[in-house]
Amino acid sequence: MRVLDSHLHLWDPSVLDYPWLEGPLRARFAAEEIAGTIGEVGDERGFVFVQADCLEAQYLDEIDWVTSLAEQVGVRGIVAGARLDRGAATVRHLDAFAERPLVVGVRHLLQGEPVGFAATPAFRAGAAALAERGLTFDACVRGEGQLRDVIRLAAEMPELRIVLDHLGKPAVGTAATPSLPSAEWANALTALAAHSQVFCKLSGLPAEARGSWSAEQTEPFFDVALEAFGPERLMVGSDWPVSAVTASGWNSGADAALDAGAIGAWADAVASWAASRAVDVDAILWSNAERFYRLS
């Protein structure tokens, strides 16, 4: 089984600054740390690094640091941090990617912005500059209001290739008390999928369950995504190490351990679900991400 993990984070607080880190995540997660968890994934593997929300002034430094680890870790592409609402400064920032060939896309974290932000002229100008350079946009949002913003963005900018991170972060409950997909979320996901340039990552649900998740719990959400996007626009992503925090980790703070096998466990759960639905497992585990990010 080959796995191209579309959503990997790496960070080292001794190298760059990450104001949001706390608890068990406020530690180094880089080449040595990932070595113990990727062995279970399969003989052939690769990763797409997604920006880890370091300080804005360090966005280019983050690219350079990850590039220095890329061969050792297996990073095939980088989704870089960028503010798309900075006007001329955004353009200069995107132009700096030309000297950094691993950069394949950008993530401006929308989940921390107010509803409607993605429709502002400043953001739209930056998104247009992104599309002009053939770079993708990772949309990380929470709630149906922000999902509707991404739907509008996709409708009004069909030239911008978008991938939805973490299925839009629906409420999933926990393994013991799972939630079913809400009608509002399912309807928004279906509306977003109507735009053919939009893909979706099967990722992030363990973090939404605060570390207490089961394969059975996630399958209703995968089924909605499959019905909406089809098997040709879904891709697996581990969201490591954020989604590797165990349930005890969420409750116990800095002393809690992370699940060393989280990457393999998530890939196995997605692969088993895809096989049970008789869809192309390799497409979801490899080729869709490769095609979306133009890595071949």
Mean pLDDT of 199-228: 97
Q: pTM for the complete prediction?
A: 0.97
CATH topology of domain 3-292: TIM Barrel (3.20.20)
Instruction: List pLDDT tens digits, range 169-208.
Output: 999 999 999 999 999 999 999 999 999 999 999 999 999 9
How many angstroms separate the CA atoms of 151 and 213, rounded? 28
Task: Lowest mean pLDDT of 134-138, 223-227, 257-261, 267-271, name the range.
Answer: 257-261
Q: Within 13 A of 255's CA, how many CA atoms are on the CB side?
A: 2
Query: Which among 256, 238, 209, 237 has a CA at the least distance from the CA of 26?
Result: 256
Instruction: List pLDDT tens digits, range 130-143.
Output: 999 999 999 999 99
Q: Where are the domains of the chain?
A: 3-292
Report which secondary-structure segment, H or E, holds 291: helix 288-292
